[in-house]
């Protein structure tokens, strides 16, 4: 197949990473793949690092210039199917197809759990402007189908997968040593961590407030925050204001996050909105980390069956702090005694083969290929 992905987002996060990692897998299986994105977007700038071809075009707003740019690209590239990933590029693509000579099938992937409008424009876009819709979690599929915005036969829940050959532990001690030149964490600390884009709904403010509540009882704890985004400055200010600035380490954006996961004792992901299945949750599971998280989006679906997960109520700082205190005490005890029960000596949880099969990228790619083939067949026969 010749597959084009469109992405109008100019930011960076799990959605853009999924587009690129899926593209990688499709290329490895012999498919012809290209990403269509605005030249100013981060996905366009970082696609080369994933070995994925990029074609730049004007893709910022829902305007005539974008429609014309998209139509020109479609007629030149002649893809069998185009996979749209954001509202703007889906709208531009669906309108452009009305005017192109080449008519590809369209698949829309809905990555986040934000509410979808029921207006006439959205109904046309989801019913006539695509042949299939993919969601990254079952809860998002339910939201789209519960009042017949679209029929359930058109929507496929395909959670994000990760490459388990890439995300595998090389040892906590060595990982900490490798990142100490970037963040001065204590090699013997009980280290909590969060790896995500620094956006308001990701809950890092709640995390820092919860962390500040446990430092008196756990003097050996530190917090590592990896990522960048619009909340970076306010998070640093909050840590200083709460008197934990010397215990909270900000690593900024990191292209390769493997050592940062591997260095942690506990992963905390207190997001409260706009989630599908976060890749960071899956990556933390691959490392066997204890996880403290919420039910936002499809997170509960992602951690189903994983014994190392603790779920708390969204925006409940007291509950987050209590879970962190328990997890921190358990990790401190392990560091002191080096005993083990069902966990290894570094306090990590055994990630079962069943879970690994579920979160692996191979299964996700198989299912995406099946949806693309179905969409092409359906569109060509209509």
Q: Which tokens belong to 307?
A: 């014994």
pLDDT of residue 344: 47
**The model's pTM:** 0.85
The 3-class secondary structure across the chain, one letter per residue, is CEEEEEECCCCCCHHHHHHHHHHHHHHHCCCEEEEEECCCCHHHHHHHHHCCCEEECCCCCCCHHHHHHHHHHHHHHCCCEEEECCHHHHHHHHHHHCCCCCCCEEEEEECCCCCCCCCHHHHHHHHCCCCEEEECCHHHHHHHHCCCCCCHHHEEECCCCECCCCCCCCCHHHHHHHHCCCCCCCCCCEEEEEECCCCHHHCHHHHHHHHHHHCCCCCCEEEEEECCCCCHHHHHHHHHHCCCCCCEEEEECCCCCHHHHHCCCEEEECCCCCCCCCHHHHHHHHCCCCEEECCCCCHHHHCCCCCCEEECCCCCHHHHHHHHHHHHHHHHHHHHHCCCCCCCCCCCCCCCHHHHHHHEHHHHHHHHHHHHHHHHHHHHHC
Torsion, Cα 226 232 237 243, to 10 degrees, reads -10
pLDDT of residue 338: 55
Handedness of CA 262, 367, 23, 83 (dihedral sign): negative
Q: Are 330 and 266 in contact (CB under 8 A)?
A: no
Q: Which tokens belong to 5?
A: 């992905």
Q: Burial letters for 318-327: b for 16+ Cβ neighbours within 10 Å, e otherwise?
A: ebbbbbbbeb
382 residues of the chain, pLDDT tens digit each: 999 999 999 999 889 999 999 999 999 999 999 999 999 999 999 999 999 999 999 999 999 999 999 999 999 999 999 999 999 999 999 999 999 999 999 999 999 888 899 999 999 999 999 999 999 999 999 999 998 899 999 999 999 999 999 999 999 999 999 999 899 999 899 999 999 999 999 999 999 999 999 999 999 999 999 999 999 999 999 999 999 999 999 999 999 999 999 999 999 999 999 898 899 999 999 999 999 999 999 999 999 999 999 999 999 999 999 999 999 999 999 988 754 444 445 678 888 899 999 999 999 999 999 999 999 999 999 7
Q: Which tokens belong to 218?
A: 């756990």
Q: Which tokens belong to 219?
A: 């003097």
pLDDT of residue 99: 97
The size of the chain, in residues, is 382
Structural domains in the chain, sorted by start: 2-161+361-381 (3.40.50.2000), 172-359 (3.40.50.2000)
Distance CA 13, CA 169 (A): 22
């Amino acid at each position: 197949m010749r597959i084009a992905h469109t992405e109008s987002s100019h930011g960076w996060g799990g959605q853009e990473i999924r587009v690129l990692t899926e593209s990688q897998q499709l290329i490895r299986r012999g498919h012809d793949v290209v990403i269509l994105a605005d030249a100013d977007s981060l996905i366009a700038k970082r696609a080369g690092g994933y070995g994925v071809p990029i074609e730049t075009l004007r893709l910022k707003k829902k305007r005539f210039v974008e429609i014309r740019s998209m139509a020109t690209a479609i007629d030149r590239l002649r893809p069998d199917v185009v996979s749209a990933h954001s509202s703007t590029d889906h709208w531009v693509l669906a309108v452009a197809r009305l005017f192109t000579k080449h008519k590809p099938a369209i698949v829309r992937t809905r990555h986040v759990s934000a509410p979808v409008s029921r207006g006439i424009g959205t109904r046309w876009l989801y019913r006539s402007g695509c042949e299939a819709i993919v969601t990254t979690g079952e809860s998002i599929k339910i939201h789209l189908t519960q009042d017949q915005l679209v029929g359930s036969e058109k929507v496929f829940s395909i959670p994000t997968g990760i490459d388990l050959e890439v995300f595998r532990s090389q040892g906590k001690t060595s990982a900490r040593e490798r990142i100490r030149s970037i963040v001065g964490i204590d090699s013997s600390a009980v280290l909590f961590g969060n790896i995500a884009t620094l956006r308001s709904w990701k809950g890092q403010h709640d995390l820092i407030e919860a962390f500040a509540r446990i430092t008196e009882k756990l003097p050996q704890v530190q917090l590592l925050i990896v990522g960048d985004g619009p909340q970076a400055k306010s998070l640093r200010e909050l840590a200083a204001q709460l008197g934990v600035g010397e215990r909270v380490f900000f690593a900024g954006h990191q292209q390769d996050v493997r050592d940062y996961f591997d260095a942690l004792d506990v992963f905390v992901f207190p997001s409260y909105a706009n989630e599908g299945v976060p890749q960071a949750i899956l990556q933390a599971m691959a490392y066997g980390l204890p996880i403290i998280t919420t039910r936002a989006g499809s997170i509960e679906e992602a951690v189903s069956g994983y014994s190392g997960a603790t779920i708390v109520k969204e925006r409940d700082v007291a509950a987050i702090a209590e879970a962190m205190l328990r997890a921190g005490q358990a990790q401190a005890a392990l560091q002191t005694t080096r005993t083990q029960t069902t966990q290894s000596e570094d306090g990590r949880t055994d990630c079962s083969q069943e879970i690994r099969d579920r979160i692996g990228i191979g299964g996700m790619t198989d299912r995406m290929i099946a949806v693309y083939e179905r969409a092409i067949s359906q569109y060509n026969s209509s």
